[in-house]
Amino acid sequence: MAAAAAMIAASPPPMRRQPIEPVPDIVIRPPRQRTSLPAVIAPKSPRQWMGLSPMAAIGVVAIGVLLAVGIYVFRNEIAARVPSEWRSMLSQRA
């Protein structure tokens, strides 16, 4: 028994457990001195395709006008090729 009592006396005291703190989702750190200036944002370059957009619109309108003129000029030839069931729908007589 004396050995057991000596062993108990020689053992270190039980360690206290520190309470576990929850880990935060976001850590806010103080700002550094060199980061106090705002970020330099490079200017946007002018877009090259902006000049192309009006030209494309003019081209689409021009193709539409040419198509309409072609249909009007060749309306008799087109009407001759249309099936007879459709001719009643396409006739100009009301």
pLDDT at 93 over 80: no
Q: What is the mean pLDDT of the chain?
A: 77
> Do 72 and 64 touch, CB atoms closer than 8 A?
no
Q: pLDDT of 17-60, one tens digit each? A: 777 888 778 878 777 766 556 667 777 776 666 667 888 889 99
Instruction: Give me the torsion for CA of 21, 27, 33, 34, rounded to 10°.
Output: 140
Give pLDDT, residue 38. Answer: 67
| pTM assigned to the model | 0.41
